[in-house]
Structure 1
Amino acid sequence: MTVEHRVRAARAEDMPAIRTVLGRAFHDDSLVRWALPDETTRDDVCAAWFGAFVDRYLAVGRVDVVEVDGEVAGVAAWRVPDAPDDHPVLASLPSVPGIVAAVVGPERTAHLFATLGGSSAHAPADPAVYLHLLAVRPGLQGRGLGSRLVSHGLATFDERGTTTWLCTAEERDVVFYERLGFAVVGQVPLDDAATLRAMHRAPRAPGLR
């Protein structure tokens, strides 16, 4: 049976499927397990937490999805450096910290976001695009869908001469991103649970991706 893949810009009506992909895909992610230790609520909280970011990036960033046989199977969400800081979506509820605080409490939430904020020390010196989220539905991982999503965005940013960067707490993902041209530039310890690695990628000329 032929499986058809298509990468396209996300639409508002994709959000239920996107949230579900995010919640399922990040269940065992090291950063998410550190932030949300309760497995019984993790998928729902992760879907709400990361879904709130995607809501914002639909308005002031870039979100791509990959379809498999007509259904959303993966998502890539990018934060762009020239996004307006006064867009109404940025003040909408639920807020990202509010979602997490409702589950783990305000004190723990403050610690989580202060720790994650340490990654800003490893941001590129010039304005750059940040790959905030990449997720593929479990069961379809390992088929090149994630690479297609990232490469689709990179093609645009390469044409614009824009640096891209990301952070990952998964050691196996470092090799994945290195194959796409990213390199580790710094680390942020997530207490004793994991290590967040910041990775940069310089723009490439056409034909050198």
Structure 2
Amino acid sequence: MSAPDVRPATPGDTAALSRVLGRAFHDDPVMSWLLPDARARERKLHKLFAAMTRHHHLSRGGVEVAATGTAVIGAAALWDPPGQWRHTTGEQLRAAPSMLRTFGTAVRRGLRITDLMKRHHPEGPHWYLAVIGSDPQVRGTGLGQALMRSRLDRCDAEHAPAYLESSNPDNIGYYRRFGFEVTGEIALPDGGPVMYPMWRRPR
């Protein structure tokens, strides 16, 4: 198998990368809590990632996709550069219809999660990894690792730290291999799952 090809995403990639992320997060504890019906997650999750990409992350220049020799996108990462992780009011308003279509009555719970994440978000310049995921059909082929290395190499070159929240405790060990360390816990309301903020110092 050829080495993964990592490149910056373009607006034309939004549909494909959002469907990849929708499949990647189908069994995620937080997404399963927000959308308990598996068929609903299959139908709707990609709309969330499309809205996030189109209305925020893509304009920051930190979205990357990875593909194998087939050139089919198999993994994607949504990064925000230092100082650019906050969503503007305009971005939130433009994304709101997609959020409502995705979560329906659970959208209020989603907003509470967003508020908790903001309160735990560290100050100071850093690269923020909002989302990373691989299509389950190509998981284990190195696409996710290639995406991580692409951006973390830049972090190290810029001597910039990086931050993420792991929504799945099973992924903590994976992130630790790249130098991230757990800094606390974000307990979601109403008996929801726990998210784990993780920080990486530059190397």
SS of residue paired to 1:127: coil
With over 3 angstroms needed to count, the CA separation of the structure-2 counterparts of 1:137 and 1:85, relative to structure 1, is closer
Aligned to 1:48: 47
Q: Distance in 2 between matches of 1:92 and 1:121?
A: 20
Equivalent in the alignment of 2:79: 78
Secondary structure of residue in 2 paired with 1:186: coil
The residue number in structure 1 matching 2:117 is 119
Find the counterpart in structure 2 of residue 207 from structure 1: none
Unaligned ranges ≥5, structure 2 = none
- For 1:140, give the aligned amino acid: V
**SS of equivalent to 2:110:** helix
* 2:64 is the alignment partner of 1:64: yes
Deviation, 1:101, is: 2.6
Percent pairwise identity: 28
1:27 counterpart = 2:26:
yes
TM-score, reference length from structure 2: 0.87
Q: Distance in 2 between matches of 1:81 and 1:45?
A: 30
CA distance in 1, matches of 2:122, 2:91: 23
Contact in 1 for aligned 2:4/2:146 (Cα 8 Å): no
TM-score, with length taken from structure 1 = 0.85
State the aligned residue count.
200
Counterpart amino acid of residue 80 in structure 2? R
Alignment of 1:124-163 (within 5 A): 124-163=122-161
Ranges of 4+ aligned residues in structure 1 off by more than 4 Å: 84-89
**Larger relative strand fraction:** 1
Is the alpha carbon distance of 1:103 and 1:151 closer, same or farther for their aligned partners in structure 2, counting shifts above 3 Å? closer
- Alignment RMSD, CA only? 2.4
* Structure 2 counterpart of 1:39, one-letter code: A
